[in-house]
Amino acid sequence: MVTGVQDLVVVSLILFGGTLIRSTFGFGDALFAMPLMSLVIGLSTATPVMGLVSLMIAVVALIPSRRHLDMAAVKRLLIGSMAGIPVGVLLLKRVDEQLLRTGLGGFVVVFGLYMLGSPRMPELRDHRWAF
């Protein structure tokens, strides 16, 4: 929970940085902002804040290009989201916040080290595996 004006300013700056990363690269806002926000306002508050900010950014970015959507891909993403969101909420409610925060930090470090190795992505024979 935000406890003061300083926390609000820090969270706003973190969200600005995440939004800047997403605007530049097309993704990565939550990867940047979630670990930092969880240190300031806690994971149970940072999660919905990040979700709402990401949703707003996505809607604003979607409006100009809505006619070019691949609806089959959108359906697959929505199905995956509908399956994953309840699992995430359950974890957020049932697992200790410090354990989740440690796991989130470990994931970011391991993924960062993996990406430093410049992994080669396999060629997909069917585009449906991309999602």
Angle between helices 43-62 and 71-94 (to 10 degrees): 170
Instruction: Write out the residue range of the structural domain in which residue 98 sits.
Output: 5-121
Residue 131 covered by a domain: no
pLDDT in tens, 72-110: 888 888 898 899 989 988 988 899 989 988 998 899 899
Residue 127 covered by a domain: no
- Phi, psi of 117, deg, nearest 5: -75, 0
Question: What whole-number distance in Å separates Cα of residue 15 and Cα of residue 108?
Answer: 17
Closest listed residue to residue 49, CA positions, set 82, 79, 74, 12: 12
Q: Is pLDDT at 1 greater than 60 in this prediction?
A: no
Number of domains in the chain: 1
pLDDT in tens, 53-75: 999 998 888 889 888 888 888 88
Residue 53 covered by a domain: yes
Residue 104 covered by a domain: yes
Show the tokens assigned to 115. Answer: 């990406």
Region 25-39 average pLDDT: 89
Q: Is pLDDT at 40 greater than 70 in this prediction?
A: yes
pLDDT at 131: 61
Residue 129 covered by a domain: no
Q: What are the C-alpha distances in Å from 57 to residues 15, 86, 101, 121?
A: 11, 22, 25, 28
Q: What is the mean pLDDT of the chain?
A: 88
